[in-house]
Amino acid sequence: MRRPTVCAVLACSALLLLSATACTATGPGRDTESPSRPDGVTARAGSATSVHVMWERSTDDRAVTGYEVYEKGAKVKTVPGARRMTDIDRLTPSTAYTFTVRARDAAGNLSAPGRAVPVTTPAPTPDDRKAPSAPARLRGRAEGTGAVRLSWGRAADDTAVISYDIYQEDSRVHSVRGTATTARVTGLRPGTVYTFTVRARDAAENSSGDSNALDLTTAPGRGDGPSTAPTALKATATRTKAGVRAVDLSWTPPRTGGGGEVREHQLFLNGRLATTIVWGAVPPKGTATYRFTVGEPPGTRYSIKLRAKLPDGKWGDFSAQRTVVTR
């Protein structure tokens, strides 16, 4: 048998190496497609030193895993793919900025930048120490499975209200300019109860107290059953006859159907599990009540919510959140 020459062997080796390299770089498993660019980018000054940036969802052949916010070409913030808004802080008062947003997928592919949006932070008011009044008459409605629309009465301030901040439980989830009295909050989960409040803010970063709390429940998704959240939760700060600070709770346990009973509830304080409320005998019919004592000084703020253990052994949905300040 005739053997190939050295040159032929080297040529074959080079060809194999080139083929292997090509497969590694452009193999069928590699994601090379970039997400679509984010549309609807807006930027509004939230104070003399902050700007609230929002955008619409991008699409990708696999999944968008994050968004990058740029100011004149320099990256200033990265957020997860589930979020489509963020606050850029520590800015300079009375300064012009320009923001763009790019989407990113798991392979690191970046979209083209969205539309560049200019915004100018207002002048500071260092001698302003008076907070705006709280927004009044917060009301709203759920829009489908993943959004709500809110409206409120205008707040008053000795200088000017620069922005309104929307809170879901204890987290700020959205901001609008001070001339607006409506907002649409998106990215919510189907069949979930949310508790919203609104605060007014001026250019000196003075923030008002909370508006009234508003509970809204998004529509259930396809195939979802009824909500399993406790309803009508009320929390009242009180003192026992011995002078001990306490909080009284009342609520309506969820209806489970099938003749099962709810015998346990988990009580969460400030987002953490505090205790499990268990009825050893027959659970209460209709309204349930519970009192717990607290050792912190007067003026301590608690965020409270409940969830029930269902007859099948699983924990149900969380109730709306209530906030109480100890006396």
148 lies in some domain: yes
The predicted pLDDT at position 258 comes to 60
Instruction: Please give the Cα distance from 10 to 142 (Å, whole number).
Output: 70
- 327 vs 303, which has greater pLDDT? 303
Q: What DSSP line would sit under 139-186, residue for residue?
A: EEEEETTTEEEEEEEPP--SS-EEEEEEEETTEEEEEEETT--EEEEE
Instruction: Please give the Cα distance from 322 to 214 (Å, whole number).
Output: 10
The predicted pLDDT at position 28 comes to 57
Segment among 7-11, 183-187, 305-309 with least mean pLDDT:
7-11
Q: State whether 203 and 272 are in the same domain.
A: no
- Which CATH number characterizes residue 178's domain? 2.60.40.10
Of the residues 189, 217, 245, the one at which a domain ends = 217
Taking the chain, what is the end-to-end CA distance rounded to the nearest angstrom? 100
The predicted pLDDT at position 25 comes to 45
Q: State whether 98 and 162 are in the same domain.
A: no
Residue 17: pLDDT over 70: no
- 58 vs 25, which has greater pLDDT? 58
The predicted pLDDT at position 165 comes to 93
Q: State whether 106 and 153 are in the same domain.
A: no
- Is residue 114 within 8 A of residue 36, CB to CB? The reply is no
107 lies in some domain: yes
The predicted pLDDT at position 259 comes to 61
Instruction: Please give the Cα distance from 102 to 37 (Å, whole number).
Output: 6
The predicted pLDDT at position 114 comes to 93
35 lies in some domain: no
The predicted pLDDT at position 18 comes to 40
212 lies in some domain: yes
Confidence grade of residue 285 (pLDDT, cut at 50, 70, 90): confident
Confidence grade of residue 20 (pLDDT, cut at 50, 70, 90): very low
27 lies in some domain: no
2 lies in some domain: no
pTM (2 decimals)? 0.70
Q: Which structural domain, as residue segments, surrounds residue 146?
A: 136-217
The domain tally of the chain equals: 3
Give the pLDDT mean for 3-13. Answer: 41
pLDDT in tens, 211-233: 999 999 999 888 777 788 999 99
Instruction: Please give the Cα distance from 148 to 64 (Å, whole number).
Output: 23
Q: What percent of the chain has pLDDT over 90?
A: 55
Exposed, middle or buried: residue 57 (CB in 10 Å: 0-12, 13-18, 19+)? middle
Q: State whether 53 and 98 are in the same domain.
A: yes
Residue 288: pLDDT over 70: yes
186 lies in some domain: yes
Of the residues 217, 244, 276, the one at which a domain ends = 217
pLDDT in tens, 123-167: 877 778 899 999 999 999 999 998 999 999 999 998 889 899 999
| Closest CA relative to residue 35, chosen from 98, 109, 92, 122 | 109
Beta strands at 245-252 and 264-269: parallel, antiparallel or unpaired: unpaired
The predicted pLDDT at position 11 comes to 41
Q: State whether 250 and 309 are in the same domain.
A: yes
Residue 15: pLDDT over 80: no
The predicted pLDDT at position 5 comes to 43
24 lies in some domain: no
Q: What percent of the chain has pLDDT over 70?
A: 90
Of the residues 120, 151, 172, the one at which a domain ends = 120
The predicted pLDDT at position 131 comes to 92
pLDDT in tens, 37-89: 999 899 988 888 889 898 988 999 889 999 999 999 999 999 999 888 899 99
Give the pLDDT mean for 296-323. Answer: 91
Residue 26: pLDDT over 60: no
| Closest CA relative to residue 166, chosen from 196, 127, 195 | 196
Instruction: Please give the Cα distance from 208 to 211 (Å, whole number).
Output: 9
Q: State whether 243 and 213 are in the same domain.
A: no
Instruction: Please give the Cα distance from 219 to 227 (Å, whole number).
Output: 10
Residue 35: pLDDT over 90: yes
- What's the whole-number average pLDDT of the chain? 86
Q: State whether 280 and 307 are in the same domain.
A: yes
